Amino acid sequence: MTETTSTEDIAAFLARHGLKCAPEQRLLDITSELGEVSKEVLKASNYGRSRPDITADLEEEIGDLLFAVHALAIECGLDPEKSLLAALQKYQARADLKGDIGSGR
Protein backbone atom coordinates (compact mmCIF):
# COMPACT_ATOMS: atom_id res chain seq x y z
CA MET A 1 0.00 0.00 0.00
CA THR A 2 1.05 3.57 -0.56
CA GLU A 3 1.54 6.26 2.07
CA THR A 4 -1.94 7.57 1.25
CA THR A 5 -4.84 5.23 0.62
CA SER A 6 -7.51 5.96 -1.94
CA THR A 7 -11.05 4.69 -2.25
CA GLU A 8 -9.84 2.48 -5.09
CA ASP A 9 -7.21 0.93 -2.80
CA ILE A 10 -9.84 0.09 -0.19
CA ALA A 11 -12.29 -1.28 -2.77
CA ALA A 12 -9.56 -3.45 -4.28
CA PHE A 13 -8.55 -4.70 -0.82
CA LEU A 14 -12.15 -5.65 -0.02
CA ALA A 15 -12.49 -7.52 -3.31
CA ARG A 16 -9.08 -9.21 -3.10
CA HIS A 17 -9.78 -10.57 0.37
CA GLY A 18 -13.43 -11.50 -0.16
CA LEU A 19 -14.62 -8.87 2.31
CA LYS A 20 -17.58 -7.53 0.38
CA CYS A 21 -20.79 -7.67 2.41
CA ALA A 22 -24.16 -6.00 2.84
CA PRO A 23 -24.34 -2.45 4.21
CA GLU A 24 -26.24 -3.77 7.24
CA GLN A 25 -23.23 -5.90 8.14
CA ARG A 26 -20.93 -2.92 7.66
CA LEU A 27 -23.04 -0.94 10.14
CA LEU A 28 -22.47 -3.64 12.74
CA ASP A 29 -18.75 -3.40 12.06
CA ILE A 30 -18.85 0.39 12.43
CA THR A 31 -20.73 0.07 15.72
CA SER A 32 -18.16 -2.40 17.01
CA GLU A 33 -15.22 -0.25 15.91
CA LEU A 34 -16.77 2.88 17.43
CA GLY A 35 -17.07 0.98 20.70
CA GLU A 36 -13.37 0.13 20.48
CA VAL A 37 -12.51 3.81 19.89
CA SER A 38 -14.69 4.77 22.86
CA LYS A 39 -12.91 2.24 25.07
CA GLU A 40 -9.49 3.55 24.05
CA VAL A 41 -10.50 7.19 24.64
CA LEU A 42 -11.80 6.29 28.09
CA LYS A 43 -8.58 4.45 28.93
CA ALA A 44 -6.39 7.21 27.46
CA SER A 45 -8.26 9.90 29.43
CA ASN A 46 -8.22 8.00 32.73
CA TYR A 47 -11.96 7.57 32.31
CA GLY A 48 -12.66 11.23 31.66
CA ARG A 49 -10.36 12.64 34.33
CA SER A 50 -7.88 14.14 31.88
CA ARG A 51 -7.41 14.99 28.25
CA PRO A 52 -6.78 11.73 26.38
CA ASP A 53 -3.21 10.82 25.58
CA ILE A 54 -2.78 9.77 21.98
CA THR A 55 -1.75 6.14 22.11
CA ALA A 56 -0.87 3.62 19.43
CA ASP A 57 -3.99 1.65 20.41
CA LEU A 58 -6.21 4.71 19.95
CA GLU A 59 -4.65 5.46 16.58
CA GLU A 60 -5.16 1.85 15.49
CA GLU A 61 -8.82 1.82 16.55
CA ILE A 62 -9.52 5.10 14.75
CA GLY A 63 -7.94 3.59 11.64
CA ASP A 64 -10.20 0.54 11.97
CA LEU A 65 -13.24 2.81 12.30
CA LEU A 66 -12.26 4.85 9.25
CA PHE A 67 -11.74 1.66 7.26
CA ALA A 68 -15.21 0.42 8.27
CA VAL A 69 -16.86 3.73 7.30
CA HIS A 70 -15.05 3.77 3.95
CA ALA A 71 -16.10 0.16 3.34
CA LEU A 72 -19.75 1.08 4.06
CA ALA A 73 -19.62 3.92 1.57
CA ILE A 74 -18.08 1.65 -1.04
CA GLU A 75 -20.71 -1.07 -0.44
CA CYS A 76 -23.40 1.61 -0.95
CA GLY A 77 -21.81 2.72 -4.23
CA LEU A 78 -20.68 6.04 -2.78
CA ASP A 79 -17.29 7.74 -2.92
CA PRO A 80 -16.29 8.35 0.72
CA GLU A 81 -13.82 11.07 -0.26
CA LYS A 82 -16.54 12.94 -2.16
CA SER A 83 -18.94 12.50 0.76
CA LEU A 84 -16.36 13.84 3.21
CA LEU A 85 -15.65 16.85 1.00
CA ALA A 86 -19.39 17.58 0.70
CA ALA A 87 -19.73 17.43 4.50
CA LEU A 88 -16.78 19.78 4.96
CA GLN A 89 -18.31 22.23 2.48
CA LYS A 90 -21.69 22.00 4.25
CA TYR A 91 -20.09 22.73 7.64
CA GLN A 92 -18.08 25.61 6.20
CA ALA A 93 -21.24 27.13 4.71
CA ARG A 94 -22.99 26.87 8.10
CA ALA A 95 -20.00 28.42 9.86
CA ASP A 96 -19.94 31.27 7.34
CA LEU A 97 -23.69 31.83 7.62
CA LYS A 98 -24.33 31.26 11.34
CA GLY A 99 -20.96 31.31 13.03
CA ASP A 100 -21.08 27.63 14.00
CA ILE A 101 -21.55 24.28 12.29
CA GLY A 102 -24.46 22.93 14.32
CA SER A 103 -27.61 22.03 12.42
CA GLY A 104 -29.96 22.82 15.30
CA ARG A 105 -29.59 26.58 15.35
Question: What is the dotted CATH code of the domain comprising 7-78?
Answer: 1.10.287.1080
Whether pLDDT at 104 is above 80 = no
pLDDT in tens, 24-60: 999 999 999 999 999 999 998 888 889 888 889 999 9
The predicted pLDDT at position 54 comes to 87
- Local confidence band at 85 (pLDDT 50, 70, 90 cut-offs): very high
The predicted pLDDT at position 53 comes to 82
For residue 105, what is the DSSP state?
A: -
Amino acid at 2: T
State what percent of residues in the chain have pLDDT above 70: 97
Number of H helices and E strands in the chain, helices first, is 4, 0
Residue ranges covered by each domain of the chain: 7-78
The predicted pLDDT at position 84 comes to 95
The predicted pLDDT at position 5 comes to 80
Whether residue 24 contacts residue 18, with contact meaning beta carbons closer than 8 Å, is answered with: no
